[in-house]
Amino acid sequence: MSAKRTAATAPVLRRITAEAVLRAFVAGDELTAGDLIAATGLSRPTVHSVCDELIGLGWVRETDAASAPAASLPATSGGQPAGSGSNAGGRPSRRYSLNAAAGFVAGIDLGATKISCCLADLRGQILVEATEPWRDEHVGAPERVMTARRIMRALLDEAGLKAGTVLAAGMAVPAPVTDDGHAVALESYLPGMASLDLRDALQPDFEWPLLVDNDANLAVLAERWCGSAQGVDNVVVLLAGERLGAGICLGGRLIRGSGAAGEMRFLELVEGVGNTDAVGGMCRELGAIAAAEILAGDRPETPVGSVLVELCGHRPEDVTAEMVVEAARRGEPAAVEVVAVVMERTARAAAVVSTLLDPELLVLAGGPAGSGDVLLPVFEQKLSQLNSARPRLAASTLGEHSALVGAVRTALDHALERLLA
């Protein structure tokens, strides 16, 4: 290799090794050089050199080895614990930890019925969070982004942070997003959204780099990072709040297609489905009808003793999906029936996706999908009755936070790259 080429590639290699070390810190806690060697495959001198540089930049701290707990790893044939906290000469190994407060990232879930925003540290730990319902489900895009900026200002105040300490922000939207930052959304669904460059949505209040993506894409990133799909390379996350959408990861790679992979408009052609209505919205609507029928005496159940009627305060218009799931959990026949209808329809949609993509795991996320004890047994039963692929099923452990956590993850990825630029 020529000297010229070596000089050109050395900074690139240095950045790659530094990024590998930083990502190990994000995934772990306090780490020794041995831990970092195992996580990155780098040599001991390289690990120490990179850590020294990161300490100088303020992103990593060296902790007091004397106060660290002794390692409790299996002993080697020589009696010395493997990966021991001491070097061969008896000097304690240097220990390092990420300075998680050296910078922060923001996450925004610009959902169909509500908005959620948060601030997180460099480890991805959410520090402050706020959620508000939209005043109207058809509120225009300008008001949506103004609300996002207002909430972010309030969160910065609550956390006592300056805007300049935020390195990047991620935003989830319930629609495909083009490379030029525009959502592919009907006016009847998200008024004015398609005409906005969402990459500028936080300006002029904040100059943060803003990474915008479809909520299902971000949900699958979140589930693989810290949710139900950790360690799984072939997974589909089915967002099932208001409208069905799929986040697809095959071979460890997020599948975007031309930008609309995972959109479920084809369900209009599927018998027994017909549209993209999802678990949350359908449970709410059918639950409201069931509660009204109970109050009107049109069902075997009576208002007195009805769990669903009690939970909604005798106001069917106030029924939520969570109320329906809770009533089904307590054995309310009307709620059990609603869950069966909704999950049969969802199983038909999942059967098509699973047969086409053959994932190892299918995660139900969004809306009430975290109530796996109620929904998953019915979901699995209905899916087993269809002639289709049968992936392993799981409910999201992130609940309604999948897209928001995914927004934090994509902002964190950008921030780590930016730190080393």
Q: What is the DSSP annotation of 81-150?
A: BTT-SB-TTSPBPPEEEE-GGG-EEEEEEE-SSEEEEEEEETT--EEEEEEEE-SSTT--HHHHHHHHHH
The least confident of 79-93, 210-224, 272-286, 296-310 is 79-93
Same domain (yes/no): 269, 287: yes
Higher-confidence residue: 419 or 292?
A: 292
Work out the average pLDDT over 207-225.
96
Q: For residue 287, what are its two tokens?
A: 């639950």
Work out the average pLDDT over 21-30.
84
Interval 164-200: pLDDT, tens? 999 999 999 999 998 888 888 888 888 999 999 999 9
Rounded Cα distance, 397 and 406, in Å: 13
Note if the bond before 204 is cis, omega within 30 degrees.
Answer: yes
Q: Are 238 and 246 in contact (CB under 8 A)?
A: yes
Same domain (yes/no): 299, 359: yes
- Predicted pLDDT of residue 170: 98
pTM above 0.75, yes or no: yes
Work out how many domains the chain is built from and give that number.
Answer: 3
Domain end: 38, 72, 98, which one? 98
Rounded Cα distance, 282 and 270, in Å: 17
User: Where in the sequence is the domain holding 22, given as residue range(s)?
Assistant: 3-98
Percent of the chain scoring above 90 in pLDDT? 66
Same domain (yes/no): 366, 241: yes
Higher-confidence residue: 13 or 286?
A: 286
Same domain (yes/no): 164, 218: yes
Rounded Cα distance, 94 and 216, in Å: 41
* Close Cβ partners of 226 (under 8 Å, ≥ 6 residues apart): 124, 398, 405
Q: How confident is the model at residue 66 (pLDDT cuts 50, 70, 90)?
A: very low
Q: What is the CATH number of the domain that holds 22?
A: 1.10.10.10
Q: Are 180 and 164 in contact (CB under 8 A)?
A: no
- Predicted pLDDT of residue 67: 46
Domain end: 51, 76, 98, which one? 98
Q: Is the pLDDT of residue 260 over 60?
A: yes
Alpha carbon of residue 210 to chain centroid: 16
Q: How confident is the model at residue 218 (pLDDT cuts 50, 70, 90)?
A: very high
Same domain (yes/no): 222, 272: no
Same domain (yes/no): 274, 353: yes
Same domain (yes/no): 392, 415: no
DSSP bridge pairs for 266 = none
389-401 burial, b at 16+ Cβ within 10 Å, e below that, comes to bebebbbbbbbbb
Return the number of other C-beta atoms located less than 10 Å from residue 206's C-beta: 19
Same domain (yes/no): 112, 93: no
* Close Cβ partners of 321 (under 8 Å, ≥ 6 residues apart): 279, 280, 281, 283, 284, 287, 367, 368
Q: What is the CATH number of the domain that holds 193?
A: 3.30.420.40
Same domain (yes/no): 218, 359: no
Q: Is the pLDDT of residue 233 over 70?
A: yes
Helix (H, G, I), strand (E, B) or coil at 239: strand
Work out the average pLDDT over 126-155.
95
Same domain (yes/no): 121, 149: yes
Q: For residue 167, what are its two tokens?
A: 């390195």
Work out the average pLDDT over 354-378.
90
Rounded Cα distance, 51 and 47, in Å: 6
Rounded Cα distance, 311 and 123, in Å: 39
Q: How confident is the model at residue 421 (pLDDT cuts 50, 70, 90)?
A: low
Q: How confident is the model at residue 28 (pLDDT cuts 50, 70, 90)?
A: confident
Helix boundaries (H) for 186-306: 215-226, 279-295
Rounded Cα distance, 323 and 332, in Å: 11
Q: For residue 162, what are its two tokens?
A: 């300056």
* Close Cβ partners of 265 (under 8 Å, ≥ 6 residues apart): 276
- Predicted pLDDT of residue 71: 38
- The per-residue pLDDT of the chain, averaged, comes to 88
Nearest to 194 by CA among 141, 149, 261: 141
Same domain (yes/no): 94, 107: no
Interval 289-343: pLDDT, tens? 999 999 999 999 899 999 999 999 999 999 999 999 999 999 999 999 999 999 9
- Predicted pLDDT of residue 94: 84
Rounded Cα distance, 364 and 419, in Å: 34
Rounded Cα distance, 273 and 282, in Å: 12
- Predicted pLDDT of residue 10: 65
Same domain (yes/no): 142, 84: no
Residue-level length of the chain? 421
